Amino acid sequence: MNEIEVFPFGATGLGRYTAIGTPPAHLPESYLHRWLGEASPFLAYGQGAIAVDGDAGALVLTCNPRTVGEPFAAFGGLTLRASLAQGAKDATAQRLMQAAKTWGRAQGCQVIRGPLLFSTWHPYRVADPDQGGHGFPGERVEPAEMQRYYQAAGLDGSDDYVTQAITEVAAHVAPLLAGLQRMPVGPLTAAIITAQISTVHALVSVVFKGNAYYAPIDVPEFAAMLALDPDGSLEPLSVGVFGPADELLGFSVGFGYIPDGLGPDDKIAILKTIGVHPEHRGGIVTWNATVSFHELAVEKGYRTVYHAMMKADNKSRRLSGLYAEPVRTYRLFAGPVDA
């Protein structure tokens, strides 16, 4: 039996991680190198390590001291060699999960959560069984069968998330537009984001602050994370809501894509985030940001809109539920490091 080795982020641990086999599809190579390699920005403000069980499996570990509230240990990216029998996979996963708890305890944490990488800025969940709909870029979820490893480690489901879909969206948008008090809206282009990056960063931060996994990040780090579409395959659909002096008051961030195996008539618009200045939340700016995104999607020929990865018990999910139906669900797990 191998002894679990724990490497800080860097070339050695990353090399051992990727050598075990093909990393999970939700962790592309560019993402791994950016966040787990020698230049990982996470090393500037937190602890990050990779636990390795010989050539059988590996697990990414983080503890983010910037998390609002009590810092917690996080695990994610569980990778098991595909050729292992199921019994060996179970044993390897449990050894790695126990190593994660031990590591988290050494960082002064009392709770471990996952699958989660770093903080809420990095969407990363386990998919619940019987998923419908289609996966989409940036979703980054694990398959449902991964739950067995976390439950076996004594972790319980702690947070549920949902993606909801509006089909035949044009029929829903028309009555909303009829009663909408219009504000100046327009495409939230890369040029506008660059020019007003501090405002965009501040508004998105407001969206996340109520989340238990929220950790503040600075403007340069936020700007680096906006590179969602390096190959140019996604259609930008983001919309800004502007004030009298062309200042950005709110926005909806999203994109369109064609799911694998489907044609242009089946393309889907993904609404990722709505950000609104605190003075205008819940009012006319919010509605303009929301409705205008759907209006743009209709103009671009989309019949289906996904409201992506909302926390199941928050206000946005409840409002979305007035028009949309759940199609994909996700879960995070948590438990004490001493269990």
The confidence score (pLDDT) of residue 33 equals: 82
Of 331, 296, 328, give the one whose Cα is nearest residue 133: 328
Per-residue pLDDT averaged across 172-181, rounded? 80
Q: How confident is the model at residue 304 (pLDDT cuts 50, 70, 90)?
A: very high
What is the CATH number that goes with domain 5-159? 3.40.630
The confidence score (pLDDT) of residue 80 equals: 95
Q: Is pLDDT of 78 > 90?
A: yes
Compute the mean pLDDT over every residue in the chain, rounded to the nearest whole number: 86
User: pLDDT for 205-235, tens place per residue?
Assistant: 777 766 666 777 778 777 766 655 555 678 8
What is the pTM for the complete model shown? 0.87
Angle between helices 11-19 and 29-36 (to 10 degrees): 150
Residues, the chain, total?
339
Per-residue pLDDT averaged across 47-75, rounded? 87
3-class SS of residue 155 = coil
The confidence score (pLDDT) of residue 267 equals: 95
Which positions ≥6 away from 130 have C-beta within 8 Å?
A: none
Per-residue pLDDT averaged across 129-156, rounded? 90
CATH 2.60.120.10 is held by the domain 169-302: no
Report the half-sphere exposure of 291 (CA within 13 A, side-chain side).
21
Three-state DSSP string of 82-149: CCCCHHHHHHHHHHHHHHHHHHHHHCCCCEEEECCCCCCCCCCEEECCCCCCCCCCCCCEECHHHHHH
Burial class of residue 322 in the structure, from the number of CB atoms within 10 Å of its CB (0-12 exposed, 13-18 middle, 19+ buried): exposed
For the chain, give every domain's residue range.
5-159, 169-302
